[in-house]
Copies of this chain bind each other. A is one copy, B any other.
Amino acid sequence: MKPKLTLKDISYELGVSISTVSKALKDSHEISKKTRDKIKAFAKLYNYKPNTIAKSLRQQKTYVLGIIIPEIVHHFFSTVISGIEHVANERGYNIIICVSNESFKKEALNVEMLTNSRVDGILISISKESQEKQDFEHLNELINDGIPLVLFDRINEHINCDKVIIDDIDGAFKATEFLINLNRRKIALITTPSYVTVGELRTEGYLKALKQHNIPIRKNLIIHVNEKQNIKNQILPLFNQKELPDAIFAVNEIYAATTLKIAKEKGINIPKDISVIGFTDGLISEFSSPSLTTMAQHGFTMGEQAAELLIDRIENKTKPYFETKVISADIKIRESTKIV
């Protein structure tokens, strides 16, 4: 690689000192307009660009935000990143993205790598394995070291930092209530194991809605999907009971779409026989047939807010308390809940 032009090179060429060049390029009034102009012209002509690494080392500041997400091939997470990126760029920061692949170990390694690179702050959505183990050592260490941290979507309440979450309880409540208002009473739930907090919260909203409307909770209508096994096979039992549900609330797009598939195979008409609502408004929901009614999560907004929180924290350490921003999920009505 061809070495790039440095301050030293310029100072040598122009017969001035390095610090004069440095100051001139920042338009310091310490330097006479004449030399300033000369230096700036020279720098421009030869396309001088300051070395970010050296600047970072000197200023103990990188203008980089680290992001750790469980997966990147994922509509919701990539949307969040998009939001983060948007705000970060606006405020003069760059981002470096790491993937944990839902692994605790990889997540911890990512944290270490980011801190070794001296990022100014970190945004993270916790991996399933970390949640399962309830091991947040690596994150608490971050806080201990005074590195600004923001959790988004997959959070843990006991970690002492800013957070941004979707209002999962309320979203699930609204979804379930919507089904109730459709006059459905045998409403099934397809959810995650309880250690996945978002799944747990959505379950909570579902139960709350049933209770509030005096609808009995039936265990046989609730399925906890273990993603380490085949998803379809775990949902299937729901359709093998004597009495079928008349509505289904699935806590994510994949579960909802899988349900659609099973129904089609079984010759069950959706939305006539069963109404279906998913969570997360991705492409699958939009293009599935029937298209899926879902609770839209506004990932982009989540990313924006998370980035704002983090940068505020980085640039102004005086805020004395931690914030948790809640983003409400809105229903997007499509064909899978149409009244026929």
Contact = CB atoms under 8 A, between A and B. Distances in A.
A284 interface: yes
A340 interface: no
A78 B82 CA distance: 12
B283 A50 contact: no
B289 A260 contact: yes
- Stoichiometry, as copies per complex, reads 2
Interface stretch (A114-122, A210-218, A243-251, A325-333): A114-122
A223 interface: no
A288 interface: yes
A56 interface: yes
Interface stretch (A69-77, A171-179, A225-233): A69-77
A113 B189 CA distance: 48
Nearest to A291: B261
Contacts of A260: 287, 289
A79 interface: yes
Contacts of A73: 75, 78-79, 82
A267 interface: no
B289 A50 contact: no
Interface of A: 1-2, 4, 49-54, 56-57, 62, 72-75, 78-79, 81-82, 85, 94-99, 112-113, 115-118, 144-147, 257, 260-261, 264, 282-284, 287-290
